[in-house]
Structure 1
Amino acid sequence: MTIKIYGPSASRASRALWIVHELGIPFEHIAVEMKDLKSPEYLKINPNGKVPTLVDGDFKLFESMAINLYLAEKHGKEGFFPASAEDRAICTQWSFWGMTEVEKSLLTVLIDMFMTPPDKKKPEAVAEALKALPKPFGVLNGALEGREYLLGTKFTVADLNLASICSWAKPIKYDFGPFPNVQAWLDRCLSRPAYKAARK
């Protein structure tokens, strides 16, 4: 059965699109427009009126990280969704950490830079967001010391989920100079063919 992924590719739905390409899962992409998210039809699928949403048969799921962890567990090849409870917990840890420690700050800068009219820009909020990022990127830089990926030498759902968030640093041209391990890791993750396929 083909799963369905709802949401434009230039949204958090890109995370789910990346993982289905990564794992070779048959899928249908329904690029529902933002203006249609409050329609009665869509609200039956996701009462939050947000994207992404996954529909897998009778099973419906929202929240991008929950979707990706579900797909990784159900379809993941050996190692992509780790076998041990400890390593799976680390995948969850980095997925949640990215959303709580990094996502809001990157999104604040991205929206202000590309989606906000000149008269509505908030330089103070952007400055505050940029000021907040070195701390988490320092943590991540330390975690990646001496390793290619978050769990070692193998690319896992932890890397995909966190890199999907950190990818927002690219369009804003964030300077990873002080965090060379993060820069190398992110470039490694975003050079994957599945990431590029998800953005088409």
Structure 2
Amino acid sequence: MLTIYGVYRSRASRNYWMARELGIPFKSVPVVQARRVADPLAADAPINTKSPAFLAVNPMGLIPAIEDDGVVLTESLANNLYLARKYGGPLSPADIAEEGLMGNWTMWAATEVEPHAVQIILTYDYGAEETEDGKATISRCAKALDKVFAHLSGHLEGRDYLVGDRFTVADLNLAEVFRYAMSQTQLFEKYPRVAAWLARCHQRPAFKEMMDTRLAESAE
């Protein structure tokens, strides 16, 4: 059985969403970020990213990680590509060309989108969005993302999804990264095709189930 290590309020949300889309059974091990624990190594501390039990799974001490029939993977977006490839179905590539395209969009999400989008959401998470430094960070990252939004908007002209005219792992991976930029309403207003695409992704029952669980989880 697939095991997903990580709380829903983390990048593990991507893997929980994917498992639900695939309809496969999975075990959740709610590893919490060590920064959220007063003493991560205390005997009564919840399992966290500094716990020896988790470091045996991922020595880097980062979530999520997955274990599937002895295969251990520790990069959230790559985890989803693996799950799509193994379990098949409409989210997976139909041929080598689609596999290449799905990998390309996923790498683009990781290298061109997330570095900027994650800075925005972390600024809000730390309550720094109204500080001088916070405003500067958000402005700088939003400016960088304008080019990203423009590229995606161009690709979506005349199509609803990224690859093969259907929702795939590429859409899921990219949507989870673009979710970090949802506070930047001006970008979504400027690029309505991107806004419509993200809304389609978020209308999926598996996303709603994942998000309901995420919102019910403690934010402390």
TM-score, normalising length: structure 1 = 0.93
In the alignment, the residues of structure 2 paired with residue 195 and residue 64 of structure 1 have an alpha-carbon distance, to the nearest angstrom, of 16
In the alignment, the residues of structure 2 paired with residue 174 and residue 46 of structure 1 have an alpha-carbon distance, to the nearest angstrom, of 36
Cα deviation, 1:27-79, whole Å, max 9, x if unaligned, reads 011111112201211111001100000011322111011100000001121x3
Alignment partner, residue 86 of structure 1: 97
Q: Is there any run of 5+ residues in structure 2 with no aligned partner, and where?
A: 35-47, 214-220
Q: What amino acid is the match of 2:197?
A: W
Distance 1:39 1:85, change over 3 A: same
Among candidates 54, 74, 87, match of residue 75 of structure 1: 87
- The aligned runs of 1:1-200 (5 Å cut-off) are 2-35=1-34, 36-77=48-89, 79-116=90-127, 121-170=133-182, 172-175=183-186, 176-199=188-211, 200=213
Secondary structure at the residue paired with 2:56? helix
Alignment partner, residue 39 of structure 2: none
Distance 1:43 1:197, change over 3 A: same
Distance 1:120 1:61, change over 3 A: farther
C-alpha contact (below 8 Å) 1:167/1:190 kept by paired residues: no
In the alignment, the residues of structure 2 paired with residue 8 and residue 68 of structure 1 have an alpha-carbon distance, to the nearest angstrom, of 16
In the alignment, the residues of structure 2 paired with residue 50 and residue 75 of structure 1 have an alpha-carbon distance, to the nearest angstrom, of 25
Q: Residue 99 of structure 1: CA displacement?
A: 1.2
Query: How many residue pairs end up in the alignment?
Result: 197
Distance 1:37 1:173, change over 3 A: same
Cα deviation, 1:135-178, whole Å, max 9, x if unaligned, reads 011000000100010114211111111111111222x2432112
C-alpha contact (below 8 Å) 1:38/1:49 kept by paired residues: yes
In the alignment, the residues of structure 1 paired with residue 100 and residue 50 of structure 2 have an alpha-carbon distance, to the nearest angstrom, of 34
TM-score, normalising length: structure 2 = 0.85
Runs of 4 or more, structure 1, over 6 Å off, are none
Distance 1:37 1:145, change over 3 A: same
C-alpha contact (below 8 Å) 2:114/2:177 kept by paired residues: yes
Distance 1:84 1:131, change over 3 A: same
In the alignment, the residues of structure 2 paired with residue 194 and residue 119 of structure 1 have an alpha-carbon distance, to the nearest angstrom, of 36
Q: Is there any run of 5+ residues in structure 1 with no aligned partner, and where?
A: none
Cα deviation, 1:123-143, whole Å, max 9, x if unaligned, reads 222221111011011000000
